[in-house]
Structure 1
């Protein structure tokens, strides 16, 4: 049985947000199946009929909840840029680091994301939300890349680099969120900075040194030819 929040007279916006947060909590706990209209209303401390006042139906609420979580993750990520040094390399380093540390990287957010993802293929409106939030994050990353002190690169190159760097971040984010105890503190950040630096041809502070190249085939233990 879900815990019912006490009724409080609140603003329209805060009641709408309470429904969204209730839906997110339930998806995290039991997947989309757990987020019924009744359970969402109970968790938010309102009557089921009130949901219709703010949303056209459960599907509309589900999309709003997914958008809320994705936009909040991006906002948490971007927040570090407010205090980052005025240096393109430092700003990209801060952004990547934030992407791979709490609160952006955490098991709860992975559980919610995975719960919603199954709708991306079957629901065109949900797919549109996914596309908009993905592109919003990637555009920020692309702008950070475009500001780097690299040899002249055109818009197509920056776009391609942003896609590749985003894929690195996504993969490490999923691994770190799913198995947080399997990695040493800062390990995924260091790997991410090294990989992204290699893609972009720059050195990002905090990245581990590149591993030494193996000796050529047939070389002796000190690298001399056998």
Structure 2
């Protein structure tokens, strides 16, 4: 952030400028809420004119939709980064994915505040609802694929309906613990939420995801 709370608006191409405006929007929403994130406030934060914002986004709603999509995508990508493991078993990959969702940087007060602000408006805004649905289904599909790999490695078969139910339940476990971690992180020890999440997922699937003595990062 530059002096006076303004972002330095980079002149590095259309997509980079567009992303700078999205980041300025997220800053404003985090500090002032959705209603306080006016086009004028966003322009001030980005260090540009309101007219330039309208060059990239027809209206405030379009900018808010893009900002929410950015949050959802960023959280999913951060969790998926934990899957980049050499010579790892499906069990270790699912364990790493669950643990990543229940630790920093995904557990973060600012991210939770932004998410909560947008969620409160989803049912009244069809475009935000579509963005939310897309993000939710994308995350759930990732969980479903990981579960299918784990069960196959154990020689177990599962119908698509069973995989779907497992993914819904695991997503609910992650969501609930994530909210607790964001709202009251100081109440939990290091790795406690991840351990709790893994225990719940192991119980749901009837598998052991980590060998005894393995530490959760």
Give me the TM-score of the superposition, normalised by structure 1. Answer: 0.87
List structure 1 runs of 4+ shifted beyond 6 angstroms. none
Unaligned runs of 5+ in 2: none
Q: Distance in 2 between matches of 1:163 and 1:85?
A: 28
Secondary structure (helix, strand or coil) at the match of 2:105 reads coil
Q: Distance in 2 between matches of 1:168 and 1:13?
A: 36
The alpha carbon displacement at 1:6 in A equals 4.3
Q: Tell me the equivalent position of 2:140.
A: 138
Q: How does 1:26-175 map to 2 (within 5 A)?
A: 26-83=28-85, 85-148=87-150, 149-150=153-154, 151-175=156-180
Give me the TM-score of the superposition, normalised by structure 2. Answer: 0.91
Q: Which protein has the larger Cα radius of gyration, Structure 1 or Structure 2?
A: 1
Query: Comparing 77-86 with 5-14, which one deviates more in the overlay?
Result: 5-14
1:51-99 CA-to-partner distances (Å, cap 9, x unmatched) read 1111110000000000011101100110111125431100000000100
2:122–2:128: 8 Å Cα contact kept in structure 1?
yes
The alpha carbon displacement at 1:207 in A equals 8.4
RMSD of equivalent CA atoms: 1.6
Change (3 A) 1:206 1:68: farther
1:190–1:206: 8 Å Cα contact kept in structure 2?
no
Q: Distance in 1 between matches of 2:212 and 2:54?
A: 50
Change (3 A) 1:5 1:187: closer
Change (3 A) 1:139 1:61: same
Q: Distance in 1 between matches of 2:28 and 2:211?
A: 37
Q: How many residues align?
A: 207
Secondary structure (helix, strand or coil) at the match of 1:68 reads helix
Q: Distance in 2 between matches of 1:50 and 1:206?
A: 55
1:193–1:206: 8 Å Cα contact kept in structure 2?
no
> Which structure is richer in relative contact order (CA contacts within 8 A, separation 6 or more)?
2
1:161–1:199: 8 Å Cα contact kept in structure 2?
yes
Unaligned runs of 5+ in 1: 209-226
Structure number with higher helix proportion: 2
1:141-184 CA-to-partner distances (Å, cap 9, x unmatched) read 10000111342111110010000000000000000011110101
Change (3 A) 1:165 1:6: closer
